[in-house]
Structure 1
Amino acid sequence: MRFDETQAATLETILRWRRDVRHFRCDPVDEAVLTRLAEAMALAPSVGNARPWRVIRVEDAALRAAVRANFQKCDEAAAADYADEQAVAYRALKLAGLDAAPVQLAVFTHIDPAEGHGLGRRTMPDTLRQSTTMAIHTLWLAARAANLGMGMVSILDPAAMERIFAVPEDWAFTAYVCLGHAEWDDDTPLLHRAGWQENAPTRWEVR
């Protein structure tokens, strides 16, 4: 299949306007839309077609509270690593949408799945985690195309997350995702708005 200029431009627009959303409205997301997003994840590439991502939709209030407590503990520790003005700037950042996001997903990687029969990962087992990351990025783009916001919470203790969800020993925590309708339509990246850091171009080094 060949894409025309209009289709290519649409993809570029989705890539350009993908954002890490932290401010959500509380209203629910239509279940049919969530089904389509789950189906989009299934289109992601994976090493040896192992499809190692395992997704838990977190609805239980106690589990959500445990995740938030994990975040708060890690956030305080991270803030202590900064000094003076940068510490103030860090504490002013909104780093998670845990309070309002109606859909929350805990994503794990099965680190030795039978699927794929080991193809492509013998010397690089991290390709399993990379596959899960690509599935998350696929979800991110599909969510943006559905006019939904998505944010990934990275200030978490992975071992604690595995204990919170009592997952099998061969599941490794990969990401916690907040999903829902964005609180506003301003697409200025939050870190840009806060003056934390601007984008740097990707350079391909030639050797």
Structure 2
Amino acid sequence: MTAPAEGTPDDEADRERRAAGPFDAAARAAVYRAIESRRDVRNEFLPDPVSDEILARLLKAAHCAPSVGLSQPWSFILVRSAEKRAEVAGIVARRNEEAANMFDGERAAQYRRLKLEGIEAAPLNICVVADRSRGGPVVLGRTHQDDVDLYSTVCAVQNFWLAARAEGIGVGWVSIFEPDDLKPAFGLPEHVCVVAYLCVGHVERLHVRPELEARRWGERLPLADVVFDERWGAGAEMFNR
């Protein structure tokens, strides 16, 4: 194989590499703490606004997410007005009633007891969308899996969420709506898809465990139940040693 000529893109990329060693113990602990203590906030938001300085850091973290073919399909619509938040809350309230009717008996009653007022309680909402045309008609890495642009946008949401935890900012992900419900509210063209609707704001406390686990809606599965060796259903040997 012929080595790349001096000054080629490959040579330039090689010069930009850095050591890939582990973080020190304190930095590693901080990363894992953010992951393990991140929570979905429903209605515990304080009215205090999120400063532009903090918001810029959170959005920068989101914008550092990996994306297929470096297409960076995400965009973030900042929603601060009470009128727009009330409009979205009305859409979600209608869909929430539909959702409640999908459960039976005590499960339906339990569902209705969950508090979902974060849209209007949080001083900031963010509609996270994916521009499915970004990157052009053929995107490296998306040639055979068309939805990986949506997965890339979800990675941006997760980056935002973890950075928010590190900043002491609460985030709630609202998903009780059809994606097209919000297109008229935000003037979205056909090729732009709603991926996430986030409620963002300061909070005083977070649940120690996920709220749905604390309320006994469900429980976290043991890690050993979801890790397999070589094929589906084959329990991983690492948990049997």
TM-score tier by shorter-chain length is over 0.9
Q: Quote the residue 2:148 is aligned against.
A: 127
Q: Quote the residue 2:158 is aligned against.
A: 137
Higher mean alpha-carbon deviation, 181-190 vs 62-71, is at 181-190
Match for residue 15 of structure 1 among 35, 42, 48: 35
Q: Quote the residue 1:197 is aligned against.
A: 218
Distance 1:62 1:85 in 2: 35
Q: Quote the residue 2:8 is aligned against.
A: none
Aligned pair count reads 207
Q: CA deviation at 1:83?
A: 1.1
Distance 1:54 1:115 in 2: 16
Q: Quote the residue 1:166 is aligned against.
A: 187
Asked whether 1:58 is paired with 2:67, we answer no
Is the Cα contact below 8 Å between 1:49 and 1:116 reproduced in 2? Answer: no
Distance 1:183 1:101 in 2: 13
RMSD: 1.6
Structure 1 stretches lacking a partner, 5+ long: none
Match for residue 126 of structure 2 among 91, 105, 122: 105
Return the structure number with greater relative CO, CA threshold 8 A, min gap 6: 1
What is the identity, as a one-letter code, of the residue corresponding to 1:47?
A: V
Which structure 1 residue ranges, 4+ long, deviate > 4 Å from structure 2? Answer: none
Alignment TM-score, normalising by the size of structure 1: 0.94
Distance 2:156 2:117 in 1: 20
Residue identity over aligned pairs, in percent, reads 38
Distance 2:51 2:136 in 1: 31
Alignment TM-score, normalising by the size of structure 2: 0.82
Is the Cα contact below 8 Å between 1:58 and 1:104 reproduced in 2? Answer: yes
Structure showing greater Rg: 2
